């Protein structure tokens, strides 16, 4: 291989999974990028239209991976961020709840099956590498970007889930990634926006943050992704992703990881803000610093040409040695060979329909969602509900919430019609008077129960009220509305944290509080079945909710039984 080809193997850039005519400008741009910079890996994503992901059918995605493989001299590695399975990007397929739901269910076997099914479906369409599992311990309730993406706050629990997922994924031939080293859980900043800081001491890192990463390494994880974090206890000067002390010294030398080391996306605000200059100059500086620190692959630079030319100049000048380049490229080629890509780099389109969304796979995803549901409080003994007067859905976007729609449909089927309000930032001020009037009026009705679905989840780069640190919480207007509902009708209101379980910590007076840890359609159905007593409630908190309950807490509630409940925390 030429030096130019080797540098290209060390880079990964985006490709959109959508129908693309090979003669189209969009595909020709991919070809030009691939051939000009000898790109060896693509990260597969989907377009965003008006702020919403436009999911692709699986056959179109597979056709794209086959076409790119056909047009590449060397086999390509295709990666994707599939933390909840293919439906994050592709439909139809098997969609799982967020990682924290697995922590609430508490069964590593479910995580192993999750890995196996994700591997079968990903490999079917040509994706060989998943940027998962998240090995971060979500010890900070204010974390705006990890949150439910983590399995929980207990290092033993997180380690068991991480290792189980790795085993399952490997059993069906999928490469996996532990992220975000050395741990993104104890932060209050979204690194997509700005540089996050981990305040932990070295002793805390050893006993908490690093524990799941050690477990992942012992389990044979293929890659470790380095976070854009400052960790003063390890390196007071450099972000982790460009820190020789963290990447080479800690991860490779001390922890003994010899697999593929990759950066988090170089176009994230956290690292882009570290270097001055144009996008090309910043991308070049980031890539060179990352490789000098010990990373083998740099992914998603803001300026592909800038990153490529920066690495090439550094290699030609001796700033990065040829031996250093060869060591990384050999790791990448060995991974490709472990997948058998040198023998067959293509997928068969005719096999895809039989491999995706198998009934038993869908049933397992539903089982995880059901077993995750956790009853944190029921002080007024409301559950199970046989009727409800009002349903209020608090969400980021009233028109594009698949889980919220599934919840409302299931609630209508199982409880009949209720007065329904769907609230987001655009209509909260307008709807609030009507909702509060309905709450007051409902007190005179026999079915006076109120159900509030508080949908909130971590989303890259999301800000609320102008906060540049990110947010996984409700909008301020929705928070105020929920506070007012509880002020007027707390004893007859059931609040469901549909995703972020920490929402309830802002309302320590809440009487009945249920957590799903995810906002998928499967979680929506599971919430309704739990509310109405049609399935038992068995989940336990994988995190502590300050002011509400400690980690491990959960009120078991058998199906169709009202009276037998545990004491409240």
**Could you read off the pLDDT tens digit of each residue along the chain, which spans 569 residues?**
999 999 999 999 999 998 889 999 999 999 999 999 999 999 999 887 776 778 889 999 999 999 999 999 999 999 999 999 999 999 999 999 999 999 999 999 999 999 999 999 999 999 999 999 999 999 999 999 999 999 999 999 999 999 999 999 999 999 999 999 999 999 999 899 999 999 999 999 999 999 999 999 999 999 999 999 999 999 999 999 999 999 999 999 999 999 999 999 999 999 999 999 999 999 999 999 999 999 999 999 999 999 999 999 999 999 999 999 999 999 999 999 999 999 999 999 999 999 999 999 999 999 999 999 999 999 999 999 999 999 999 997 655 678 999 999 999 999 988 899 999 988 999 999 999 999 999 998 888 999 999 999 898 888 776 777 888 889 999 999 999 999 999 999 999 999 999 999 999 999 999 999 999 999 999 999 999 999 999 999 999 999 999 999 999 999 974 333 333 44
DSSP 8-state code for residue 249: I
Q: Show which of 355, 381, 405 is a domain's final residue.
A: 355
Residue 49's H or E segment, with its range, is: strand 48-49
Residue with tokens 């990634």: 177
> Within this chain, do residues 343 and 384 fall inside the same structural domain, yes or no?
no
- Which is it for the CA torsion 404, 407, 409, 415, positive or negative? negative
> Within this chain, do residues 418 and 324 fall inside the same structural domain, yes or no?
no
Total of domains in the chain: 2
pLDDT for 399: 53
Q: End-to-end distance of the chain based on CA atoms, in angstroms? A: 64
The answer to the question of residue 562 being in a domain is no
The answer to the question of residue 350 being in a domain is yes
Active site residue 192: yes
Domain range for residue 63?
3-355
Q: Extract the tokens encoding 67.
A: 């076409």
The answer to whether the bond into 554 is cis (omega within 30° of 0) is no
Distance, in Å, from the CA atom of 454 to the CA atom of 394, rounded to the nearest integer, reads 5
> Within this chain, do residues 444 and 295 fall inside the same structural domain, yes or no?
no
Q: Extract the tokens encoding 400.
A: 């594009």
Distance, in Å, from the CA atom of 482 to the CA atom of 439, rounded to the nearest integer, reads 11
The answer to the question of residue 54 being in a domain is yes
The answer to the question of residue 363 being in a domain is no
Q: Strand, coil or helix: what is 361?
A: helix
> Within this chain, do residues 321 and 425 fall inside the same structural domain, yes or no?
no
CA 480 from chain centre, in angstroms, equals 28
* Reported pTM: 0.96
Count Cβ atoms within 10 A of the Cβ of residue 515 and give its class: 0-12 exposed, 13-18 middle, 19 or more buried: buried
DSSP 8-state code for residue 298: E
Residue with tokens 């207990």: 154
The answer to the question of residue 541 being in a domain is no
With beta carbons less than 8 A apart as the criterion, state whether 89 and 52 touch.
no
With beta carbons less than 8 A apart as the criterion, state whether 138 and 146 touch.
yes
Active site residue 396: no
> Within this chain, do residues 393 and 336 fall inside the same structural domain, yes or no?
no
Q: Which residue out of 192, 238, 449, 540 is catalytically annotated?
A: 192
> Within this chain, do residues 320 and 379 fall inside the same structural domain, yes or no?
no
Distance, in Å, from the CA atom of 515 to the CA atom of 517, rounded to the nearest integer, reads 6
With beta carbons less than 8 A apart as the criterion, state whether 453 and 503 touch.
no
Distance, in Å, from the CA atom of 110 to the CA atom of 451, rounded to the nearest integer, reads 30
> Within this chain, do residues 341 and 431 fall inside the same structural domain, yes or no?
no
pLDDT for 469: 80
Of 147, 173, 157, nearest to 111 (Cα)? 157
Tell me how far apart the 2 most distant CA atoms of the chain are, in Å.
Answer: 80
> Within this chain, do residues 351 and 393 fall inside the same structural domain, yes or no?
no
Distance, in Å, from the CA atom of 287 to the CA atom of 52, rounded to the nearest integer, reads 30
> Within this chain, do residues 82 and 124 fall inside the same structural domain, yes or no?
yes
The answer to the question of residue 289 being in a domain is yes
Cα atoms in the 13 Å half-sphere on the side-chain side of 143:
25
> Within this chain, do residues 280 and 385 fall inside the same structural domain, yes or no?
no
Q: Extract the tokens encoding 532.
A: 């109405």
Return the CATH number at 333. 3.20.20.300
> Within this chain, do residues 419 and 330 fall inside the same structural domain, yes or no?
no
> Within this chain, do residues 140 and 98 fall inside the same structural domain, yes or no?
yes
The answer to the question of residue 401 being in a domain is yes
Q: Which residue out of 186, 264, 303, 475 is catalytically annotated?
A: 264
The answer to the question of residue 536 being in a domain is no
Q: Which residue intervals of 184-321 are DSSP H helices?
A: 202-204, 210-218, 244, 269-272, 279-293, 304-317
Return the CATH number at 405. 3.40.50.1700
With beta carbons less than 8 A apart as the criterion, state whether 137 and 125 touch.
no
């Amino acid at each position: 291989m030429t030096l130019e080809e080797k540098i290209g193997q060390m880079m990964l850039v985006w490709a959109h999974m959508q129908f693309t005519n090979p003669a189209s400008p969009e595909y020709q741009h991919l070809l030009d990028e691939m051939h000009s910079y000898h790109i060896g890996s693509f990260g597969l994503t989907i377009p965003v239209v008006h702020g919403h992901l436009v999911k692709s059918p699986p056959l179109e995605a597979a056709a794209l991976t086959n076409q790119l493989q056909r047009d590449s001299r060397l086999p390509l590695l295709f990666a994707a961020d599939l933390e909840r399975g293919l439906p994050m990007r592709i439909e139809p397929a098997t969609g799982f709840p967020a990682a924290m739901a697995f922590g609430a269910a508490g069964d590593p076997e479910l995580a192993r099956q999750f890995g196996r099914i994700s591997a079968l479906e990903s490999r079917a369409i040509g994706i060989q590498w998943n940027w998962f599992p998240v090995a971060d311990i979500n010890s900070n309730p204010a974390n705006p970007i990890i949150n439910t993406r983590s399995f929980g706050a207990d290092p033993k629990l997180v380690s068991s889930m991480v290792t189980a997922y790795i085993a399952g994924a490997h059993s069906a031939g999928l490469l996996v990634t532990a992220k975000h080293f050395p741990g993104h859980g104890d932060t209050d900043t979204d690194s997509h926006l700005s540089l996050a800081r981990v305040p932990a001491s070295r002793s805390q890192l050893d006993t908490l943050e690093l524990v799941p990463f050690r477990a992942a390494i012992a389990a044979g994880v293929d890659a470790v992704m380095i976070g854009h974090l400052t960790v003063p206890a390890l390196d007071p000067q450099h972000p982790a992703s460009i820190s020789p002390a963290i990447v080479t010294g800690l991860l490779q030398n001390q922890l003994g990881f010899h697999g593929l080391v990759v950066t988090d996306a170089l176009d994230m605000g956290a690292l882009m803000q570290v270097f001055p200059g144009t996008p090309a100059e910043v991308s070049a500086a980031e890539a060179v610093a990352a490789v000098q620190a010990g990373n083998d692959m740099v992914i998603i630079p803001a300026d592909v040409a800038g990153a490529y030319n920066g690495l090439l100049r550094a290699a030609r000048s001796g700033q990065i040695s040829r031996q250093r380049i060869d060591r990384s490229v050999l790791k990448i080629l060995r991974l490709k060979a472990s997948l058998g890509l040198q023998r067959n780099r293509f997928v068969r389109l005719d096999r895809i329909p039989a491999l995706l969304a198998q009934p038993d796979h869908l049933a397992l995803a539903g089982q995880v969602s059901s077993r995750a549901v956790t009853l944190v409080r029921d002080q007024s003994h409301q559950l199970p509900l046989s009727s409800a007067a009002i349903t209020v859905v608090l969400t980021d976007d009233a028109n594009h919430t698949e889980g919220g729609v599934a919840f409302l449909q299931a609630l209508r089927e199982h409880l009949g019609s209720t007065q329904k309000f769907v609230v987001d930032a655009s209509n909260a001020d307008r709807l609030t008077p009507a909702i509060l009037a309905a709450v007051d009026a409902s007190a005179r009705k026999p079915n006076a129960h109120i159900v509030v679905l508080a949908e909130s989840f971590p989303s890259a780069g999301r800000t609320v009220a102008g906060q540049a640190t990110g947010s996984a919480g409700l909008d301020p207007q929705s928070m105020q509305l929920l506070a007012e509902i509880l002020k007027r009708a707390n004893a007859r209101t059931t609040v469901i944290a549909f995703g972020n379980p920490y929402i309830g910590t802002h309302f320590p007076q809440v009487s009945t509080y249920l957590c799903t840890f995810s906002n998928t359609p499967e979680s929506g159905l599971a919430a309704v079945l739990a509310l109405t007593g049609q399935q038992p409630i068995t989940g336990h908190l994988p995190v502590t909710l300050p002011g509400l309950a400690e980690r491990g807490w959960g009120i078991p509630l058998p199906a169709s039984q009202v009276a037998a409940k545990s004491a409240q925390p």
